[in-house]
Chain A
Amino acid sequence: MTTRKLPFGLKAPSRGTVIFGSIVFGISGIVYGSNYYSKQSHQRLYDRVTWLADRPLGVREMPRKVTIYIAPPPGDGMDKSRVWFREYVKPVLYKAAVDYEVREGRNNGDIEAMICEEIRQKRKAAKEGTAPPMVAAAKPGSPFSPVPVQQNEIDGIIAIGRVAWREVLNGLAKGCEAPLKDEKIEEVKPEAAAIADEKSATPEETSNNNQPEQLSFQEEPNNREEDAPLAGEPAVVVTTSGDNSQDYTLVDGNMVSEEEPAFSLPPSFPPVMYIPHNNVIGWLNIPYRLFLWAADYKRVDWIGEYSVAVALNERKPLEKNEIDVGQAEKKYWLGDEAKEMLTNDTPIKLDDRVREHLTTFVRS
């Protein structure tokens, strides 16, 4: 065996060293490359939004704020959703100076209840003509808030994952149908329910005429089907016989009168956005996970598009085909509990009356 002479008296590495070296350098190369490319991807996203953060902000202005709803992916824990948000959504929001609040729905229906209540409060405030209670955040007595700042409205509802998205949309629809009265005064008016079927829908110019003096209108025998084409002027809130649970709103000039008792729309809906969350789990998917870990920039790009859209705040109406989204996520709903959800999974539906007023962010 002839040994080849290497310069400077170096010896050729042994077989073991070669194997060791190639493994170490291979893995560290992959890690380095993964970090490098995802950093570049992040930078590309940041470049599109940082101008938003560099604008000056007046003393009495508030930055935009979005609410993010996360739910645990089926068959897994909440932590996965949190990490997904932290890794892919939050950096862009941070760079774009969009304030955010994360709300977690641990159990099925939590998010729905939160959104439902929010919409209900909005409708109630609009009907009574008062500001919603959350606006009074700056307490006059508190030393830490001497200047009453204009509290901004929640400027976007973001749902991460199909589970959360379904609950958000259901919550929006249910919030529009929920009775406006609080639970405790629910059973006060038995006689109002008795006359409810012969009540008249009389258009009123003012939006907060729900005092009992309106009872005089109920004598008119006209029904709501005849009333509908008569009402021409837009944005008239129709109140009936002082009963809060029955109201009909005119939306865009069309009378909306339905069988459900208390359907009305709040003055405005925040834009909604679905952000996919592919929670890749399962033994067979481990190679794919490894690949995704090495090529993290793909996910950064993919999810980053959505968060950039949220930051840039360009809106468009919510289309029908944007409601039942997230089918690809279902592939990774593994495990007993998830299997149950998978079999119970129905297409996400949304009432058209609500959908027409919803907007979403435009992805470029």
Chain B
Amino acid sequence: MSMFGGGFQAQQSVNPQNIAMAEQELDMVTDLFNRIVDSCYTKCISTEYQQNDLSQGESVCIDRCVAKFFDVNAKVGEKMQQMGGGQPPQ
């Protein structure tokens, strides 16, 4: 009973804000992922499908595209945080 109560209390203390933040984070990651897939797909995959596998050229292109995306994402995030300075958004 106490265990359940303790767990419940812990959940209570976690629930309201952290879950919302986690959801937001998940949204962000999903959004990032979708963007990556979108832009790298249009950039790298040719519309003439000649084989079922990725070709070497396509996979190198995707590799670099994704790496670049993450790179830029990290850089922009860093910069935004710097610009935000001490005060957090909202």
Seen from chain A, the residues whose Cβ lies within 8 Å of a Cβ on chain B are: 50, 52-58, 63, 94-95, 97-99
Contacts and interface: CB of A to CB of B under 8 A. Distances in A.
Nearest to B29: A143
26 contacts: A53-B55, A53-B56, A53-B57, A54-B50, A54-B55, A54-B56, A54-B57, A55-B55, A56-B51, A56-B55, A57-B53, A57-B54, A57-B55, A57-B58, A57-B59, A58-B53, A63-B59, A63-B63, A94-B57, A94-B60, A97-B56, A97-B57, A97-B59, A97-B60, A98-B60, A99-B60
B55 to A, nearest CB: 5
Interface in B27-85: 50-51, 53-60, 63-64
Task: List 7 tightest A-B contacts by C-beta distance, closest first.
Answer: A53-B57, A56-B53, A97-B56, A97-B57, A97-B60, A57-B56, A57-B59
- Decide if the interface of chain A is mainly helix, strand, loop or mixed: mixed
Nearest to B51: A56
Contacts of A95: 57
Nearest to A93: B60
B8 to A, nearest CB: 30
- Decide if the interface of chain B is mainly helix, strand, loop or mixed: helix
A56 B57 CA distance: 9
B53 to A, nearest CB: 4
A97 B59 CA distance: 8
B63 A99 contact: yes
Contact of A55 (B56, B63, B64): B56
Contacts of A54: 50, 55-57
Contacts of A98: 60
A190 to B, nearest CB: 46
B56 A63 contact: yes
Given A94-B60, A97-B55, A97-B59, 10 more contacts: A50-B57, A53-B57, A53-B60, A54-B57, A56-B53, A57-B54, A58-B53, A63-B56, A95-B57, A99-B60
Most-contacted residue by chain A among B51, B55, B57, B59 (CB, 10 A) = B57
Interface in B15-29: none
A233 B55 CA distance: 44
Contacts of B51: 56
Nearest to B64: A99
